[in-house]
Copies of this chain bind each other. A is one copy, B any other.
Amino acid sequence: MRVLAKDIAGKGADTSIEACGWVHRIRDMGGVCFIILRDRSGIVQLVLNEKPDITLESVIKVQGFPAPNEKAPGGTEIRVSAIEVLSRAEPDLPFQVNGDIAKLGIETILDNRLLSVRSPKIRAVFNVQATIVEAFSAWLRSQGFTEIKTSKLVWGGTEGGTELFEVEYFDRKLCLAQSPQFYKEAMVASGMERVFEVAPAYRAEKHDTPRHLNEYISLDVEMGFIESEMDLIELERGLLAHIFSQVAEKNAADLALWNASVPNGEAVAAAPVIGYEDAVKLASELSAKAGGARIFDINPEAERFLCEWAKEQHSSDLVFVNEFPRRYRPFYTYPSDANRTMSFDALFRGLEITTGGRRQHNYDAFVEVLPRFGLKLENMQNYAALLRCGCPPHGGFAIGLERLTARILGLANVKEASLFPRDRKRVEP
C-alpha cells in the first residue's frame, strides 16, 4: 500500500511501507546514499546502502521502513529495502528541477511546462488557481447561481471589433467566442436569473504584453433583478472575499513560497468605489506628482496609480472604478445618463481583473443605440429576440482567472499563470 510523503511521519517504525515519486535529489556519501523523493504531497528522504543506478527526475517505487531522523524533511526518513525504477529520466534534462527556478527565464519555464511544474514553487501557482475556480463556483452556488456551459463557436464578436479568431466549420466560417456575453444574458432571461460559467475565451489581440493572453479562462457571472452596477460591485466583494479566504486557508504553503498574502474580508469591504472622471483626474494628479505624463483614461499606468492610492488611503489592494463613459463601453451597457454608464472595472494590485456592468434590457433603447455603435439590427437578431420575450433588468461581470492568480502571487507576467499559454508566437507545447 502506497503512503504519500506527507503521511510517512505518522507510520510506525515496524510497518513496511511503499513510496512512489520522482527523484528530486541524490546525495551519495559512500556507504550510504540519501535520495529526496518528491510526490504530489511533498518530499521524503530515502536512505540506501549504496547509490542505485538512477538519474534525477526518474520515477521510482521503494519499499522500506520509516525511521525518525530530525534532520530529514518531516522528521522521518525511509530505510529502503527494495527499489524499482518505473521510468528512467534522460540525464540531460533542459534544466535541473531542484535548482533555483528564479534564475530561469519565462521562455524556458513555458517551453518546458512538464519540468517547470515539477518545481514546488511553480506548482504552487496552479494549486492557487485550482482553489480560485473551486471557491468561485462554490460561493456563487451558495447564492443561488446555476453553472452553465455555452458554445465557444459563434457567428461574430459580441463586443464588436475585429479581434476574432476564425474557425473553418464544415463549409462555413465561425469565430471563437470572445466571451459568453450573449449566452449568459440569455440564460438570465430564460429564468435561471443567476448564472456563472468557467470557460476559455479568445481575443485575437496582436499585442504581446505581460498582461495579455490570446486564450484565457474567463470566470463569468450574470444576474437578474439588479438596480445598478453597485449591486454587482457588492456581489464581487462577497465573491472575492470568499476566494481570498479559501486561498488563505487551503494554500498557505503555496502563498509562503511566493512570499504572498491575500486581503482579508475587511480589506475587501473597505475597497473604495470611484467614478471614472474622478479616477482619471486623480491618476493624472498622482502621475504629475511622480513626474509622469498627464493621464487621459484608465490605462495600465492609471491602474497602478489608482491601486497605490487605494492602498495608501483605504488600506485596500482593490479599487472599483464605475460610471465609465458610454463611448468606452459596448452597445449593451446600460446608460445612467447621456454620457455615463452603469459599468465598472475592478483593479487589484495594479491590474484590471474585472469588467462588468448593468446591461440594457429595454428593446426600444437597444434599437436606438445600435447605429451609434455601427451595428445593424438585422445582424443582431439573437439579441433582439432576447429583449423581446421578457427580459429582467440584469448585469454581470467577468474575472480573468490568470490575472487574478498572477496578482495574488505577484507574478510578473500573466502567462506564468497559464499552464499552456497562447500568444502570437507561442503555440506549443
Residue of B nearest to A41 (CB): B144
The answer to whether A113 touches B194 (Cβ under 8 A) is: no
Given the complex, which residues of B lie within 8 Å of A114, measured CB to CB? 186, 189-190, 385-386, 389
Residue of B nearest to A429 (CB): B382
Which of A2-37 touch B at CB < 8 Å? 2, 20-23
Given the complex, which residues of B lie within 8 Å of A2, measured CB to CB? 225
Q: Which of A160-168, A273-281, A284-292 contacts B (4 or more CB under 8 A)?
A: A160-168
**Measured between C-beta atoms, what is the minimum distance from A246 to chain B in Å?**
12
What is the CA–CA distance of A215 and B169 in the complex, to the nearest angstrom? 11
The answer to whether B170 touches A389 (Cβ under 8 A) is: no
- CB-CB under 8 A for A166 and B165, given A20-B225, A114-B385, A419-B150: no
What is the CA–CA distance of A94 and B193 in the complex, to the nearest angstrom? 21
What is the CA–CA distance of A385 and B114 in the complex, to the nearest angstrom? 9
Interface of A is mostly: mixed
The answer to whether A118 touches B191 (Cβ under 8 A) is: yes
Residue from B149, B150, B199, B391 within 8 A of A401 (CB atoms)? B149
A153 at the interface (CB under 8 A from B): yes
What is the CA–CA distance of A421 and B183 in the complex, to the nearest angstrom? 12
Given the complex, which residues of B lie within 8 Å of A189, measured CB to CB? 114
Q: Which of A68-76, A133-141, A323-331 contacts B (4 or more CB under 8 A)?
A: A133-141
A93 at the interface (CB under 8 A from B): yes
The answer to whether A174 touches B392 (Cβ under 8 A) is: no
Given the complex, which residues of B lie within 8 Å of A57, measured CB to CB? 389-390
What is the CA–CA distance of A282 and B153 in the complex, to the nearest angstrom? 41
**0/1 string, A167-193, CB within 8 A of B gives 1:** 111101010100000110011011111
- CB-CB under 8 A for A169 and B200, given A20-B392, A87-B361, A113-B190: no
Which of A271-310 touch B at CB < 8 Å? none
Q: Which of A123-131, A237-245, A336-344 contacts B (4 or more CB under 8 A)?
A: A123-131
Residue of B nearest to A39 (CB): B193
Given the complex, which residues of B lie within 8 Å of A127, measured CB to CB? 146
Residue from B21, B155, B206 within 8 A of A428 (CB atoms)? B155
**Measured between C-beta atoms, what is the minimum distance from A155 to chain B in Å?**
7
Residue from B88, B133, B393, B419 within 8 A of A390 (CB atoms)? B88
**Measured between C-beta atoms, what is the minimum distance from A185 to chain B in Å?**
10
Which of A194-208 touch B at CB < 8 Å? 194, 198-200, 204, 206
The answer to whether B166 touches A147 (Cβ under 8 A) is: no
- CB-CB under 8 A for A151 and B420, given A38-B191, A146-B130, A191-B118: yes
The answer to whether A58 touches B170 (Cβ under 8 A) is: no
Given the complex, which residues of B lie within 8 Å of A376, measured CB to CB? none
The answer to whether B169 touches A167 (Cβ under 8 A) is: no
Given the complex, which residues of B lie within 8 Å of A151, measured CB to CB? 215, 419-422
Residue of B nearest to A57 (CB): B390
A90 at the interface (CB under 8 A from B): yes
**Measured between C-beta atoms, what is the minimum distance from A418 to chain B in Å?**
8
Given A40-B191, A126-B192, list of 5 further CB < 8 A pairs?
A: A117-B190, A129-B149, A149-B200, A149-B419, A174-B427
A-B contact pairs, 16 of them (CB 8 A): A39-B191, A40-B194, A59-B390, A86-B392, A89-B388, A114-B389, A115-B389, A123-B191, A148-B419, A149-B418, A152-B152, A165-B169, A166-B167, A166-B168, A170-B424, A198-B198
